Amino acid sequence: MSEKWNPVEGESSKKRVCYFFDSDIGGFHYGPGHPMKPTRIRMCHSLVMNYGLYKRMEIFRAKPATKREMTQFHSDEYIDFLSRITPSNMSSYVKEQYKYNVGDDCPVFDGMFEYCSISAGGSMEGAARLSRDKCDIAVNWAGGLHHAKKSEASGFCYVNDIVLGILELLRYHPRVLYIDIDVHHGDGVEEAFYTTDRVMTCSFHKYGEYFPGTGELRDVGISKGKYYALNFPLRDGITDENYQSVFEPVIRQVMETYDPSAVVLQCGTDSLSGDKLGCFNLSMRGHANCVKFVKSFNKPLLMVGGGGYTMRNVSRAWAFETGLATGVELLPDIPMNEYYEYFGPTYELDVKPSNMEDMNTQGYLDRVRNILSENLRHQGGPPSVQMQDIPRMPIDEVVEDANADEDLIPPNERRPQRLLDSRRQADGELSDSDDEGEGGRRDHTSHREAGSVNGNGTGSGRKFRGATGINLGSVNATHGAGPSGHTTVPLVITGTTSDEPSGMDVDQGAVQDSNASSRSGEPADLNGMAVDETPPAGAGTSS
């Protein structure tokens, strides 16, 4: 197949990229009318494979995160609740749903806990491979669920895979930088590390009568973490030029001042122009410029997904940014793939800005940037961390030779046709319009039986009604810190299943199974801060 990309100018050396994808992710469905559609990750993967990027990176299916791994950050009771509740028994957990903010914007749907396990597993294993120098960049587009709290779901997020990935990085790295370019504030990650200097959080987001209502300029962290939380509140309609004019100087100063040994970049695409829930005016290239700039610092980099509710634009941007991670720019003409008709009428890999007005004046951007620059000067250089032995886990010995049991896998082993048939796409599942639910179109897709349409609804049957408030009185953990607020996965060759379009040029050896997990079940030592301790509550809360 002819190449469908051009090398990125100025790339000094090729990066080793690990890309995580689980073919099951496209079968989950939040419910009819809900803006979050996991199918977008499968659409992105289809573009990645048909552009031939599998030739330039290793592709893995991560082991789903276990309950024990999730409780490194989340409370035992909350994770136990997520693992037990289903659409069929949710009527027995009314009190718990209210307590954990599950329902409405975070509905109970079929396979919800499996979905969370896949998301968290990819981020944790990506972090583990970075720490052990098995790759330079790890990509998990199923991750990036930055709103989830210790004991509460929020903003379509149930389990915070980012916090779990950072905790894995902290086992090996003294300082980790988290950068968030989602249109919403990364409140869950900021809150988790609000009192430590081991992690610096930096979020560029819309602020002002907008979910989650946190992320004010004055939120800088407390105690040992003071000045290690950075928030850049933005207004509607910011353009590529203005975004670049603040993103690059701030991140450059953060790199010089904090000197992180690893970086996590949340690439939420609801900051793109035309997003259903967003209000920014970034083009695909303007968004991708952030990836290119962060990559230029040559730090171990974990790239995760996040928001993004216009699916054709989400998949375009993440495919393009996957190419940048491998050192190439994808050509504009979209190759044939199973979702080809969805990219009409232009069939081009581009998201163009609109003519919406930019409410961010130059004076406002300069003033905020100067305040953040002053806050960074208060740090006084990168914080030091006392050296200690990295705790050895039994799984570490397995990871050092991840292919030890490779010869034990039958080379001609095939998955039964019954399993492949159960993953077929249901008609209408790709609805990306506001009229879903009209004219009798109801998508009650089950991730186990994707071909069935159940009249009584295997999904939650709930309509999305926007963000709901948090009831502080019903949650064990406090919220809004700051002034404003077990089994091994069988080998799966994802690039050669019947889910992929026929005739697609896929190297059968390109996809590997990450059977041996490199993740630790031990929480990281954050200089005396217990991971499950929530910072003192402030006046503001998510709304």
Beta bridge partners of 262: 176
d(CA 38, CA 29): 7
In order, the DSSP letters of 405-424 are: TGGGS-TT----HHHHHTTP
**Four-residue CA torsion sign, 359, 365, 367, 373:** positive
Question: Exposed/middle/buried for 336, CB within 10 Å: 0-12, 13-18, 19+?
Answer: exposed
Q: Which pair of structure tokens corresponds to residue 84?
A: 């037990």
Determine contact, residues 460/115, Cβ cutoff 8 Å: no
d(CA 515, CA 388): 29
d(CA 83, CA 293): 39
Beta strand 5-7 with 328-330 is antiparallel
Beta strands in 278-386 (DSSP E): 301-304, 328-330
Q: How many CB atoms lie within 10 A of CB 37?
A: 24
Type of residue at 358: D
**Four-residue CA torsion sign, 43, 468, 123, 458:** negative
d(CA 394, CA 397): 6
Distance set, CA 194 to CA 9, 186, 223, 462 (Å): 38, 12, 8, 34
In order, the DSSP letters of 160-193 are: -HHHHHHHHHTTT-S-EEEEE-SSS--HHHHHHT
> In this structure, what are the phi and psi dihedrals at residue 523, rounded to the nearest 5 degrees?
-70, 150
Residue 287 is a catalytic residue = no
How many whole angstroms from its chain centre is CA 137? 14
Instruction: Please work out, in degrees rounded to the nearest 5, the angle formed at the alpha carbon of residue 533 by the alpha carbons of 529 and 538.
Output: 110
d(CA 227, CA 378): 7
What angle do helix axes 311-326 and 284-295 make, rounded to 10 degrees? 30
Beta strands in 305-429 (DSSP E): 328-330
Beta bridge partners of 282: 272
Beta strands in 352-475 (DSSP E): none
What Rg do the C-alpha atoms of the chain give, in angstroms? Answer: 22
Catalytic pick among 29, 147, 184, 444: 147
Q: Which pair of structure tokens corresponds to residue 166?
A: 């950072």
Active site residues: 147
